[in-house]
Structure 1
Amino acid sequence: MSKLPPVSETGAVLVTGASSGIGEEIAREFYRRGYRVILVARRADRLQALAESLGGNARVLPTDLADPADRAGLPDQVAALGLTVDILVNNAGLSNLGPVARSAPADELRLVEVDVAAVVDLCSRFVPAMVARRRGAVLNVASVGAFGPVPWQASYGAAKAFVLSYTEAMREELRGTGVTASTVCPGPVRTGFGEAAGIPDEEAEKMLPRFLWETADAVAKTAVDGLDRGKSVIVPGAPNRAAAMLNRLAPRWALLPMVSRSHPGRQEL
C-alpha cells in the first residue's frame, strides 16, 4: 500500500534545493508521477528553467533557506498559489571542507542554518497541517555521513546525523496520523555539490571506489520509491548500504583514523 498522499488538485510537493542535483531530480521524479511541484532554492533562473521544462504543474518560490525570514514566508507564499504542501522534501544542503581549527564561523553557521535549522523550521511549519488533514509525507535528505563522524567535514557530518535522528524521532511521533517521514542517505553522487564544497568529483573519485558512486536520478527514484513504501531510512546502492552498516557498527577508535587518512580535505595543522 502506498504511503504517499494521492495526487490532488491543490496538493503539492515542496522541494528545497531544487535548482540542481538530487533536488532537481526528486522534483522531476514526483512530476513524472503526476504531482504538482513547488521548487524552492536561491537561484531563481535555474528554478524557472526547470519549471518551464516540467510544464504547468511546477511553481517557483526563490528562497534563501539560510534566512529565517525567508523561510517564515514560505507557508503564505504557498497559500497564495492556492496550494497545500502534502509532501515536504528537505533536500537543500551545503558543506564546508577542512579542519575546525581553520574554519570560518560565518560559513559554519550558514551550514547549520541550511542543513539543520531549515529542516526543523519547515517541518514545524508544514507538518502540523498535514496531521490536521490526516495525510502527508516528509522526505529529509541526509547522507551516509550521518552514520558516523566525518573528520575534515565535521559540521557537515554532524548536521546530517542530526537530520537522521530528528526524522526517525518525528516518524515515530507521527505513527497513526496518516503522515509518514523518511530519511534518504546517499553516498557519493556526481552533482555540483562536491565542487561547491571544494572537492571536485574528479578528485573525490580518486579517494572513493567507483562502485560507491550513484547518479542523481537513480538516487531520486530510490528515495521516492522508499518513501512510497514507507521505509524509514533509505540508502541508495548496495555498496553504500554496506558502508553505512560498517559506519554504524565499527568501533570509532578504528574507523575515524581510516576516514581521516583517506579524506580529500585532510590538512596538516
Structure 2
Amino acid sequence: MAKTFKEKYGDWALITGATSGIGAELADQLAAKGLNIVLVARKEGELRDHAERLASKHGVQTEIMPADLATAEGIAKVKATEIEIGLLVPAAGLEVNGAFEKTSYEAELKVLQLNVTATFELAHHFSRSMVARGRGGMLFVASLSGQMPNPYFANYAGTKAYVMNLGASLYGELGPKGVDVTVLSPGLTATAMVADNGMEWAKTPMVAMDPKLVAAMAIDGLGKRPVTVPGLRNKIMVAAMRFSPLRLAVKMSEKMVRNAINPEKI
C-alpha cells in the first residue's frame, strides 16, 4: 500500500512564497493531502488570510511566518522555527527583465538573494534534520529559463539554472537517504509575477498554464523524477533548445523575448 503524505513527510510542510501563484497552489494542494502548513511570505495580512482559508477548507493546522527572504534576517527567522519540517517547498522567487546593463543593480542583487541564497540556506538547514530522521522531501521551483539561454532575463535565468542543478543533484544524493527531491521547471504560468512583468507573451508561441495544474504536476513528481516540466509545449521547447547548437538556441530565445519585451528595456 502506498504511503500517505504524512507517513512520507511527517506533519508539517513549509512553503515560501505561499500567498500567491504556484506557491499558493502548492500550499492548498498539500493541505488537501493532510499536511499542516507553515506559510512564509512578506505580507502578514495576506499570510493570515491564506492560512485561515487553508485551515477552514482542509481542517489542517497552519502557522504564518512574515519574513523577507531577500534578507539575512528573514532567512534566519525561518531557520529558527521549532516546528519539525518534513517537506520544504522554497517557492518564493523574483525576476527582473530587460537589457542587462540597464537593469537595477539593487533589484538584480535581490533576485540573487531570494532565488539562490535563500533557497540554498533553507535547503541546507532543513536537509540535516530530514537525513537524520531518514525521511522528508524538498520541492524546488526553477523555471524553463534555467534550462536554456534567456536573453533579457539573464540574471534570473542564471539563478534558476542554479536551482535546477542543486535540486537535480540532491535528487541523486538525498534519495538514498530517504529524502525525496524534485525540481519543478514550469514555463509561462498565469501568476501575478507574470502578469506584472510588462511582457507581451501573446506575441510569442508561449501559452500560460493554470497554476493549479502546474502545482498538481509538481506534487505528483515528488520522489519520482528529478525534474518535472509541466505541459507538452514546454517539454517540446526544452527538447528543441537542448538539441540545438548553443548559438542557435541563444538566437531563437533572443528573438522570441525581443518580440514580447518593452522596446524601452532593450
TM-based fold match above 0.5: yes
Q: Find the counterpart in structure 2 of residue 119 from structure 1.
A: 119
Q: Find the counterpart in structure 2 of residue 204 from structure 1.
A: 201
Residue 176 of structure 1 deviates from its aligned partner by: 1.6
CA distance, structure 2, for counterparts of residue 205 and residue 260 of structure 1:
16
If the length of structure 2 is used for normalisation, what is the TM-score? Answer: 0.91
CA distance, structure 1, for counterparts of residue 7 and residue 63 of structure 2:
16
Residue 261 of structure 1 deviates from its aligned partner by: 1.5
CA distance, structure 2, for counterparts of residue 4 and residue 84 of structure 1:
18
**Fraction of identical pairs, as percent:** 31
Residue 131 of structure 1 deviates from its aligned partner by: 0.3
Q: Find the counterpart in structure 2 of residue 257 from structure 1.
A: 251
Which runs of structure 2 are paired with 1:104-143 in the superposition (5 Å)? 104-143=104-143
Residue 184 of structure 1 deviates from its aligned partner by: 0.4
CA distance, structure 1, for counterparts of residue 161 and residue 203 of structure 2:
25
Match of 1:72 among 51, 54, 76: 76
Residue 105 of structure 1 deviates from its aligned partner by: 0.9
CA distance, structure 1, for counterparts of residue 168 and residue 131 of structure 2:
17
Q: Find the counterpart in structure 1 of residue 217 from structure 2.
A: 222
User: Are the structure 2 counterparts of residues 225 and 92 from structure 1 closer, same or farther at C-alpha, using a change threshold of 3 Å?
Assistant: same
Whichever residue aligns with residue 265 of structure 1, its letter is I
Whichever residue aligns with residue 248 of structure 2, its letter is A
Contact 1:190 1:216 in 2 (8 A): yes
Q: Find the counterpart in structure 1 of residue 172 from structure 2.
A: 172
Residue 75 of structure 1 deviates from its aligned partner by: 2.9
Residue 209 of structure 1 deviates from its aligned partner by: 3.7
Contact 2:6 2:34 in 1 (8 A): no
Aligned residue for 2:225, secondary structure, equals coil
Residue 5 of structure 1 deviates from its aligned partner by: 5.1
Whichever residue aligns with residue 136 of structure 1, its letter is G
Structure 2, gaps ≥5 residues long: none
Whichever residue aligns with residue 214 of structure 1, its letter is M
1:123-153 per-residue CA deviation (whole Å, 9 max, x = no partner) reads 1111100000101000000011111111000
Q: Find the counterpart in structure 2 of residue 58 from structure 1.
A: 62
Aligned residue for 1:6, secondary structure, equals helix
Q: Find the counterpart in structure 1 of residue 228 from structure 2.
A: 234
1:20-47 per-residue CA deviation (whole Å, 9 max, x = no partner) reads 0100000000001111011111121111
Q: Find the counterpart in structure 2 of residue 185 from structure 1.
A: 185
Contact 1:95 1:156 in 2 (8 A): yes
Contact 2:22 2:211 in 1 (8 A): yes
Residue 68 of structure 1 deviates from its aligned partner by: 1.2
1:77-133 per-residue CA deviation (whole Å, 9 max, x = no partner) reads x31xxx211000011101001011112111110000011111101011111000001
Contact 2:41 2:47 in 1 (8 A): yes
CA distance, structure 2, for counterparts of residue 92 and residue 172 of structure 1:
24
CA distance, structure 1, for counterparts of residue 23 and residue 162 of structure 2:
20
User: Are the structure 2 counterparts of residues 3 and 174 from structure 1 closer, same or farther at C-alpha, using a change threshold of 3 Å?
Assistant: farther
CA distance, structure 1, for counterparts of residue 79 and residue 3 of structure 2:
23
CA distance, structure 2, for counterparts of residue 184 and residue 2 of structure 1:
22
Residue correspondences, number: 259
Contact 2:69 2:75 in 1 (8 A): yes
Aligned residue for 2:176, secondary structure, equals coil
CA distance, structure 1, for counterparts of residue 36 and residue 251 of structure 2:
46
CA distance, structure 1, for counterparts of residue 241 and residue 2 of structure 2:
31
If the length of structure 1 is used for normalisation, what is the TM-score? Answer: 0.90
Residue 204 of structure 1 deviates from its aligned partner by: 1.4
